[in-house]
Copies of this chain bind each other. A is one copy, B any other.
Amino acid sequence: MSAQMSRIALARRPSGSPVPEDFKFVTDDIPTPAEGEVVIEVTHLSLDPYMRGRMDDVKSYAPSVDIDGTMTGQGVGRVLASKASGFAPGDMVTGMTGWASHACLPGQELRKLDPAMPPSTALGVLGMPGLTGWVGLHKFGRPKAGETLVVGAATGPVGSMVGQLAKSLGLRTVAIAGGAEKCKLATETFGFDAAIDHRAHDDARSLRAALAEAAPDGVDIYWENVGGKVLEAVLPLMNTHGRIPVCGMIAWYGGANIEDTNQLPGLWRSVLVKRLHVSGFIIFDHWDEYPAFLKDVAPKVAAGDIAYIEDVADGLENMPDAFIAMLKGGNVGKQIVKL
């Protein structure tokens, strides 16, 4: 009898916010590697907001997860068996393992980790979220010293990278985060000039007044992670020639609150009158920048000049709950699951 592995599969498509019943725990045999493949024992898994999109059966930039298919995701782990050149048992690697205790992947889809850094950093500050912040800020935010940046979900792994990079480039940085603890983190750990607790504001108007105070010269770059009330609050504060990199919209992933008055004409008017540049981007188009990113950012992380925070849950079986909580903002920092 073969050794066993576990994985989390999609049981059904969620309607709005995911619930535990949308997932199921499955046990399988550990695969045997074919020529060119590597079998990995996963040690850390990443949870990211984009995974919510993969659960829907709609046309998107990446295929949906099939019903009964393993949930998509990046993991880090130890090579158990290798039929790929360049990989030997014991090597620490990262790749798209899915939500699983073990994975069998082609060697060319894996990357060996820098042994000088903790393995989990490959999923956060030095992984996809860190790259997202770095690429998006430089390519689509086009920051200039003296400007003002506003970031939603500012203590998350993308937002905190964006804020720290912008601060080091001489911008005024304003964080929007959920709750007093995250606001404290934003200013004390991530060096934001100001932080606003969106939970302390019932509506966009009240949030906007707080933002106007924190950004007295207006907003030149709004880093869009959130959508919803935050977008509505920021838009009228945008300066002429402002940039909005659109990286996510966690407030709208569940499809909630879209029945109110049509806000599109107002956005369109702002785009025209203020000559805004709105750029959607998906990090999967920009992996070729990964070496340049690592070269720039890894030394800063190693030196402690770029801070990061991880929120570590324990055990594969707890991934659905950790994911559901993350989508509601329940985590603090990059959400990792340790197996």
Contact = CB atoms under 8 A, between A and B. Distances in A.
Interface in A27-54: 53
A267 B276 CA distance: 15
A142 to B, nearest CB: 13
Tier of interface size on chain A: 35 or more
A270 B260 CA distance: 19
Interface stretch (A68-76, A81-89, A246-254, A305-313): A246-254
Given A240-B61, A268-B227, A280 B285 contact: no
A111 interface: no
A246 B268 contact: yes
A278 interface: yes
A227 B269 CA distance: 10
Contacts of A264: 231, 258, 262-264, 267
Contacts of A227: 265, 268
A82 to B, nearest CB: 36
A316 interface: no
A224 B267 CA distance: 13
Nearest to A251: B265
In the A-B complex, the 3 residue pairs with the smallest Cβ-Cβ separation, listed nearest first, are A271-B280, A278-B278, A263-B264
Interface of A: 53, 60-61, 224, 227, 231, 240, 246-249, 252, 255, 258-282, 285
